[in-house]
């Protein structure tokens, strides 16, 4: 199976934006959503735990993960990967000028494990077009930045 993408025209934010005001970018076309219940059933089908057990484990996983991240810890989740918080702040000239109000909202960072990293490297891409025309390019709001794949 391939990752589907479409081509979109967006404002060029690079150093050559005066010469080339817009550029063509690849944008992923998201596939169907696998709901939590579907995911739980699929995991349960290949384990000795039933769907209620899998749901309970995932719910508890979330509670424990949040607790450790809130306390500034990194959490390794086996072959899945590692979770940690990342934060930054606005800079000030002196220590006296600093306050916690300058700290930006932390972000949850996920570093995939070996299997997920290998999957990324073995991904195939397939151009998605509405009417099978290879010249299809969607125009996008000029204020939007290209999305990261």
Contact 137, 5 (CB under 8 A): no
What pLDDT score does 130 carry? Answer: 73
Quick one: pLDDT band at residue 107, thresholds 50, 70, 90?
very high
Condensed to tens digits (0 to 9), the pLDDT of residues 81-106 reads 999 999 999 999 999 999 999 999 99
- pTM value is 0.68
Domain identity same for 116 and 82: yes
Quick one: pLDDT band at residue 140, thresholds 50, 70, 90?
low
Domain identity same for 82 and 108: yes
- The 10 Å CB-count burial string (b at 16+, else e) for 113-136 is eeeeeeeeeeeeeeebeeeeeeee
What pLDDT score does 136 carry? Answer: 66
Domain identity same for 114 and 96: yes
What pLDDT score does 143 carry? Answer: 46
- For 92, the domain range is 74-123
Residue 14, in any domain of the structure: yes
Residue 97, in any domain of the structure: yes
Residue 147, in any domain of the structure: yes
Q: Give the chain's domain count.
A: 2
pLDDT beyond 70 at 147: no
Condensed to tens digits (0 to 9), the pLDDT of residues 9-52 reads 998 888 898 899 998 888 888 888 888 999 899 899 988 888 99
Residue 142, in any domain of the structure: yes
Domain identity same for 79 and 104: yes
Residue 16, in any domain of the structure: yes
What pLDDT score does 146 carry? Answer: 46
Domain identity same for 96 and 134: no
Question: 10: buried, middle or exposed (CB in 10 Å: 19+, 13-18, 0-12)?
Answer: buried
Average pLDDT score over residue span 110-128: 90
3-state secondary structure of 123: coil
Residue 45, in any domain of the structure: no
Domain identity same for 137 and 112: no
CA 70 vs CA 36, 55, 83, 99: distances in Å: 24, 23, 11, 20
Residue 86, in any domain of the structure: yes
Residue 10, in any domain of the structure: yes
């Amino acid at each position: 199976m391939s990752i589907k993408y479409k081509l979109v025209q967006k404002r060029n934010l690079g150093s050559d934006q005066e010469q080339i005001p817009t550029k063509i970018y690849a944008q992923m076309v998201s596939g169907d959503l696998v709901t939590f219940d579907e995911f739980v059933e699929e995991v349960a089908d290949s384990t000795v735990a039933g769907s209620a057990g899998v749901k309970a484990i995932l719910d508890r996983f979330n509670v424990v993960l949040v607790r450790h991240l809130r306390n500034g810890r990194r959490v390794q989740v086996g072959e899945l990967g590692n979770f940690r918080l990342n934060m930054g702040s606005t800079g000030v000239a002196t220590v006296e000028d600093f306050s916690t109000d300058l700290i930006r909202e932390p972000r949850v960072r996920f570093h995939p494990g070996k299997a997920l990293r290998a999957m990324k490297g073995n991904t195939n891409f397939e151009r998605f077009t509405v009417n099978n025309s290879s010249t299809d390019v969607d125009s996008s709001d000029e204020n939007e930045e290209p999305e990261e794949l």
